[in-house]
Amino acid sequence: MKRSDVRDMGEHILVNIPASKNDKPRSFMVIEDNEMDALRLIRSYISRRPLHETNDRFFLCLRGGRCTAQPVGKNTIGAIPSKIATFLGLPDAKSYIGHCLRRTAATLHADAGGSVLNLKQLGG
């Protein structure tokens, strides 16, 4: 994902995903949410990126509390569920893989009353 794929529109942040598993572009909005405040977190992340960074990748590695010029790779992102499971002391932490993020998002969507059709449109 590139910096240009994440646009702050004022009341929300628009995220474009130009290439997905089925080569169908997708987009979603990050809106104000009192529970998680993702809008504030994303804005905070964007403000901490190095000002003169020429790398257009949105996610950069963090070292010593600062963003580096090295982009975060897909394997690092895919390992996040396993790292969370390890931190929480869950058994068999290695079995938590990147696909867990997609399953969790689908479950949250269904629990919030989202339709199956809408879920298919969101997830491909």
Count of CA atoms in the C-beta half-sphere (13 A) of 15: 12
The neighbour count for residue 60, using CB atoms within 10 Å, is: 20
CB 54 within 8 A of CB 43: no
Distances in Å between the Cα of 121 and the Cα atoms of 65, 78, 88, 116, 124 are: 37, 22, 32, 9, 6
Question: Residue 10: which pLDDT band, with cuts at 50, 70 and 90?
Answer: very high
In the chain, where the domains are located? 1-72, 76-124
For residue range 47-104, list pLDDT tens digits in order: 888 777 788 888 888 888 777 888 888 888 888 888 888 988 989 888 887 776 666 7
**Greater confidence, 24 or 39?**
39
Model's pTM, two decimal places? Answer: 0.66
Phi-psi region of 72 (alpha: psi -120 to 50; beta: other; left: phi over 0): beta
In eight-state DSSP terms, residue 65 is T
